[in-house]
Structure 1
Amino acid sequence: MNQEQQIMQWIDDHNDEIISFLQQLIQIPSVNPWFFDEPGPSKEKDVQEFIADKLTKLGADIELWEPVADDLKQYEGMAGYYPGRDFQGRPNLAATFGAGEEGKSLLLFGHIDVVKAGSKWTVDPFGAEIIDGKLYGRGTVDMKGGVAAMIMAVEAILRSGAKLKGPVIVGTVVDEETGGMGALDFIHHGYRADGCILTEPTSLTIAPLCRGILWGKIKVQGRSGHIEMPQADWQDGGAVDAIKKARLILEQFDHLNADWAVRKTHPYLSIPCQVHVAQFNAGEYPTSFANEAEIVFNAQYLPSERDDKLMGGHVKRELEDFIYNIAKSDPWLSQNLPEIEWLVDADCAETDVEHPFVQTCVQSLHSIGLEGKIEGLGFHTDMGWPVNVGIPTVNFGPGDPSLAHHSDEFTPVNEVIDAVKMIAKTIIDWCGTEAVEVQN
């Protein structure tokens, strides 16, 4: 049995141990404190210390530190920077194996914060139950399944009697669920590698790109008046229905989306970029025309559309011009211009599919009997900052991303095991390994 076979055999022989580790991660409710109704202690530190203890026992050099927002002011206006954000008790973690080795290096990267459990669970959201081959719990998909897989892949190699020829860094960060400042701080801290696997859920496909996401709010002004009474012309002080004016914008969104469906596509994305209305808020009383209407929307953009700050500024201006041109066509709106408030700009990134690292990951999947499909992600991940500093990065992990944040979130157990094998195979082929005495 050669070394690679020994590593894969170790994984097969330790399935229960791998899944048990994931269950322990799930059972620590590391909910990002942004989701708390009132400020309270975060369990993110508990998860990081649990991971640090495991990796220390495997011989890693550990660094555990709390990000400081004031130290990141140079990134103002860029992805992940939020002034004044508090990271007390919310550390990032980096564990390095094989420091100083001459082979190619690899960063295994993931976040440990989760969204709150929410309602309508039929199982304990932090109980980590296995039912019919599925592991249930908040974070099984997003993304503790991936975090467990990358850590256990490193353990499989070391416990099988292999030594790394190139460094492997295990990086686990906080705060992805509310903006990605943990990832920004990790890169600012100086960690670099020749390749990166971000273990977000991809249903075991290779995803070398993710889209950027813009959240915006459009405020449309009206003028209230009795809805059951005749109204004078608006120029004479009559009522103006903000809902009716907002409909002008909503109708034009349909035309914009038809245009974007042709222009804003990517060969590895199954759907084009669109503007989707997520919320509509208007009116005060059933007897009054709406004084104001708010349209909250979600718009996506491609890595090719990034601005000089590597974010969505070009698309913001496109949408601002679009709204302005609609307003110019309406006498009321031209004098009472809608206002756009930008709520979120979550960045995007892309690695060339022909890059040797991407192809190594594809071949790793082939070697364990899977298709090795390449497919982009329609949502934001933390891959932006690694790519920004020149690290070729792919998203790859167990779990269906459409189940992230759902009640009864689950990941098939077999996908976790397959993810461990793929990551281990990538370490073998990318970093290189050689035989040494088996660790106990």
Structure 2
Amino acid sequence: MNQEQRVMEWIENHQDEIIHFLQQLIQIPSVNPWFFEEPAPSKEKDLQQFIAGKLEKLGADIEIWEPVADELKQYEGMAGYYPGRDFTGRPNLAATFGKGSEGKSLLLFGHIDVVMAGSKWTVDPFEGQVIDGKMYGRGTVDMKGGVAAMIMAVEAILRSGFKLKGPVIVGTVVDEEAGGMGALDFIHHGYRADACILTEPTSLTIAPLCRGILWGKIKIQGRSGHIEMPQADWRDGGAVDAIKKARYILEHLDRLNEKWAVSKTHPYLSIPCQVHVAQLNAGEYPTSFANEAEIVFNAQYLPSERDEKLVGGKVKKELTDFLREVSESDPWLCEHMPEIEWLVDADCAETDVAHPFVQTCVQSLKTIGEEGKIEGLGFHTDMGWPVNVGIPTVNFGPGDPSLAHHSDEFTPVDEVIQAVKMIAKTIVDWCEIEEA
């Protein structure tokens, strides 16, 4: 029996152990505190300590530290930097196996924070219950399924009686769900590798790129007045309905999206970049015209559109110019120019599909019986900073990403096992192994 067969046999024989480990991750509710209106203790530290305990038993060299926002000021204006963010009790973790070995190195990377459970669950969101071959729970998809798979892949190799010829770093970070400052800090901390698998959910496809995401809020001014009474011209002090002005802008957004549907595409993305309206906030009383209105939107951008700081500045300018041009065609808006308040700029990145590491991952996937499909991700992941410092990175993990953040979020158990096999196979081929 060769090396690969021994590792795969270990995985086959320890499927219950793999799934139990994922259940244990789900059962620690590491909800990002950004989702709570009032400050609340985070369980991220509890989960990192649990992971550290497991990795320590496997012989890893472990470092745990809390990011410090003031130490990252040099990244102002770049992805993941948020001044003053508090990471007390919210540590990052790095565990290195085969430290000092001379072979090619690999970073297995993932975030351990999750969004809040929310409502309308039919099962306990923090139990990890398995029903009909699917594990349910907050984070099974995004992205504790992937974190469990990457850790168990390393364990499968070590428990099969091998040691690594090249180092493997297991990196688990916080704060991805609120902007990615944990990943920025991890890279700032100095961790590097010859390649990286970010185990975000991809339904077991290889995703060598992700899109950038801009969240913004268009603020539109009106002038309130009695909604049931005749109104003078606005130049003479009459009311102006901010909702009607918002509709005017929305109509122009539809036309902008028609242009983007042609100009902002990528061969590995199934849908074009668009400006999606996520929220409409307006009005105060049923008897008054809206004094102001807000359009909250989500706009996507491509790696080719990044600015000099590797984020979405060019697209921000494009949207700001668009809003100004639209407003200049309306007399009220021209004199009361709407403004965009930028909320989030989540970066993007891309690795050339011809890179040897991408092809190694494709072959690993084919070896375990999967198609080996390459497909980009329409959402943001933490791959930006590894790519920015020259680490070729792919996203790969179990679970359907469209189920992330849903009530009754679930991942098929067999996908988790397949992910363990693929990652283990990639370690065998990329880092190489030998008898312990």
Which TM-score applies when normalising by structure 2? 0.99
Aligned match of 2:331:
331
Alignment of 1:287-366 (within 5 A): 287-366=287-366
Instruction: Give me the whole-angstrom Cα distance separating, in 2, the residues matched to 1:74 and 1:155.
Output: 37
Letter in 1 for 2:95: A
Aligned match of 2:417:
417
1:155 lines up with 2:150 in the alignment: no
Give the match's secondary structure for 2:239: coil
Aligned match of 2:72:
72
1:135 lines up with 2:135 in the alignment: yes
* TM-aligned CA deviation for residue 247 of structure 1: 1.3
- After superposing the two structures, state which structure 1 stretch, 274-283 or 411-420, moved more: 274-283
Aligned match of 1:106:
106
* TM-aligned CA deviation for residue 288 of structure 1: 1.6
Aligned match of 1:386:
386
- Alpha-carbon displacement from aligned partner over 1:214-251 (angstroms, at most 9, x marks no partner): 01111111111122222111111111111111111100
Which TM-score applies when normalising by structure 1? 0.98
Q: Which runs of 4+ in 1 moved over 2 A?
A: none
Give the match's secondary structure for 1:126: coil
Instruction: Give me the whole-angstrom Cα distance separating, in 2, the residues matched to 1:23 and 1:224.
Output: 54
Give the match's secondary structure for 1:387: helix
Instruction: Give me the whole-angstrom Cα distance separating, in 1, the residues matched to 2:217 and 2:42.
Output: 30
Letter in 2 for 1:86: D
Aligned match of 1:227:
227
Instruction: Give me the whole-angstrom Cα distance separating, in 1, the residues matched to 2:40 and 2:279.
Output: 29
Aligned match of 1:85:
85
- Alpha-carbon displacement from aligned partner over 1:68-93 (angstroms, at most 9, x marks no partner): 11111111111111111111111110
Instruction: Give me the whole-angstrom Cα distance separating, in 2, the residues matched to 1:402 and 1:381.
Output: 14
Instruction: Give me the whole-angstrom Cα distance separating, in 1, the residues matched to 2:227 and 2:62.
Output: 66
Runs (5+) with no aligned partner, structure 1: none
* TM-aligned CA deviation for residue 145 of structure 1: 0.4
Letter in 2 for 1:159: R
* TM-aligned CA deviation for residue 62 of structure 1: 0.5
Letter in 1 for 2:52: A
- Alpha-carbon displacement from aligned partner over 1:279-304 (angstroms, at most 9, x marks no partner): 11111122221111111111000000
Give the match's secondary structure for 1:340: strand
Alignment of 1:162-201 (within 5 A): 162-201=162-201
Letter in 1 for 2:338: P
- After superposing the two structures, state which structure 1 stretch, 38-47 or 9-18, moved more: 38-47
Quick one: percent identity of the two aligned structures? 86
- Alpha-carbon displacement from aligned partner over 1:239-277 (angstroms, at most 9, x marks no partner): 111111111110001110010000000000000000011
Instruction: Give me the whole-angstrom Cα distance separating, in 2, the residues matched to 1:429 and 1:186.
Output: 26
Alignment of 1:361-380 (within 5 A): 361-380=361-380
Instruction: Give me the whole-angstrom Cα distance separating, in 1, the residues matched to 2:55 and 2:206.
Output: 26
Give the match's secondary structure for 2:201: coil
Aligned match of 1:404:
404
* TM-aligned CA deviation for residue 424 of structure 1: 0.2
Letter in 2 for 1:296: V
Instruction: Give me the whole-angstrom Cα distance separating, in 2, the residues matched to 1:151 and 1:283.
Output: 51
Instruction: Give me the whole-angstrom Cα distance separating, in 1, the residues matched to 2:241 and 2:47.
Output: 52
Aligned match of 1:126:
126
Give the match's secondary structure for 2:110: strand
Aligned match of 1:246:
246
Letter in 1 for 2:294: E
Give the match's secondary structure for 2:143: helix
1:35 lines up with 2:35 in the alignment: yes
- After superposing the two structures, state which structure 1 stretch, 239-248 or 62-71, moved more: 239-248
Letter in 1 for 2:274: Q
Letter in 1 for 2:189: H
- Alpha-carbon displacement from aligned partner over 1:176-225 (angstroms, at most 9, x marks no partner): 11111110000000000000000000000000000000011111111111
Letter in 1 for 2:77: G
Aligned match of 1:58:
58
Give the match's secondary structure for 1:394: strand
Aligned match of 2:47:
47
Give the match's secondary structure for 1:304: helix
- Alpha-carbon displacement from aligned partner over 1:156-185 (angstroms, at most 9, x marks no partner): 001111111100000000111111111000
Letter in 2 for 1:134: K
- After superposing the two structures, state which structure 1 stretch, 15-24 or 220-229, moved more: 220-229
* TM-aligned CA deviation for residue 40 of structure 1: 2.3
Letter in 2 for 1:144: K
Give the match's secondary structure for 1:278: strand
Alignment of 1:5-24 (within 5 A): 5-24=5-24
Instruction: Give me the whole-angstrom Cα distance separating, in 1, the residues matched to 2:41 and 2:244.
Output: 46
Instruction: Give me the whole-angstrom Cα distance separating, in 1, the residues matched to 2:233 and 2:90.
Output: 58
Q: How many residue pairs are counted as aligned between the two chains?
A: 436
Letter in 2 for 1:34: W
Letter in 2 for 1:227: I
Give the match's secondary structure for 1:169: strand
Runs (5+) with no aligned partner, structure 2: none
Instruction: Give me the whole-angstrom Cα distance separating, in 1, the residues matched to 2:433 and 2:24.
Output: 29
Aligned match of 1:395:
395
Instruction: Give me the whole-angstrom Cα distance separating, in 2, the residues matched to 1:16 and 1:30.
Output: 23
Aligned match of 1:202:
202
Give the match's secondary structure for 1:80: coil
